[in-house]
């Protein structure tokens, strides 16, 4: 039985529209108003954060990722990508991270993008955590917030499964209206 031309064309149009919607959903940008303090001063409270959906494998060290802190997907957190599969990360009680035997200060995480060539930095005091070693698994990443003294991140949650990572921050629009594209 042949379908009438208009019915077949309508069905093809509908399927094409659905494919575009699904494709747009996977590649679209999302935004939300940030109400936390964990990423201050990089992302001030009250800022609108625009983030793009992205494959976690495309993220680079030092970029800020949007992620779900657990599998419930009720909250979205933001933190800087610090560790990748195969990395060994030691959270030092003195306020520093040791990534594959290179020391970084938690107070200058934006400089971590130059890893492994960043200079060794002096450590500061870490308020809530002692020394701990994390071996980052094949499907995990280690994420740390800029305002580490007031944050919950991989230092307390452990390495974040890649399936919980949504994408990266593209732009921050501060409450006063100024914008930071390509957030560092």
CATH classification of the domain holding 163: 2.10.109.10
Q: Which H helix or E strand runs over 81?
A: strand 77-83
Percent of the chain topping pLDDT 70: 66
Domain-embedded: residue 2? no
pLDDT value at position 93?
Answer: 62
Q: What are phi and psi of 49, to 5 degrees?
A: -110, 125
Domain-embedded: residue 4? no
Other Cβ atoms less than 10 A from the Cβ of 129: the count is: 13
CA distance 40 to 26: 28
CA distance 50 to 52: 7
Q: CA dist 90 to 63, 93, 97, 136, Å?
A: 20, 9, 6, 11
pLDDT at 76 over 50: yes
Rg of the Cα trace of the chain?
A: 20
Domain-embedded: residue 10? no
Domain-embedded: residue 21? no
Confidence of residue 132 (pLDDT cuts 50, 70, 90): confident
Range of the domain at 69: 30-181
Measuring CA to CA, which residue among 46, 56, 148, 139 is closest to residue 94? 148
Q: How many domains does the chain have?
A: 1
23 vs 90 pLDDT, higher one? 90
Other Cβ atoms less than 10 A from the Cβ of 22: the count is: 10
Domain-embedded: residue 1? no
Domain-embedded: residue 174? yes
119 vs 175 pLDDT, higher one? 175
Domain-embedded: residue 22? no
Cis peptide before 116 (omega within 30 of 0): yes
Domain-embedded: residue 24? no
């Amino acid at each position: 039985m042949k379908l009438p031309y208009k019915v077949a064309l309508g069905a093809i149009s509908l399927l094409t529209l659905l494919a575009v919607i699904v494709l747009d959903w996977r590649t679209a940008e999302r935004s939300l108003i940030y109400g936390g303090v964990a990423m201050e001063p990089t992302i001030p409270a009250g800022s609108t954060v625009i983030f793009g959906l992205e494959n976690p494998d495309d993220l680079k060290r030092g970029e800020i990722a949007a992620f779900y802190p657990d599998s419930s997907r009720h909250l979205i957190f933001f933190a800087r990508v610090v560790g990748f599969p195969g990395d060994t990360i030691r959270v030092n009680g003195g306020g520093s991270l040791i990534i594959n035997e290179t020391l970084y200060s938690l107070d200058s995480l934006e400089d971590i993008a130059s890893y492994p060539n960043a200079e060794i930095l002096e450590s500061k005091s870490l308020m809530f955590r002692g020394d701990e070693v994390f071996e980052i698994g094949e499907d995990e990443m280690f994420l740390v917030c800029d305002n580490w003294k007031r944050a919950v991140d991989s230092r307390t949650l452990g390495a974040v499964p890649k399936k919980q990572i949504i994408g990266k921050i593209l732009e921050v629009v501060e409450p006063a209206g100024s914008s930071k594209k390509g957030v560092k």
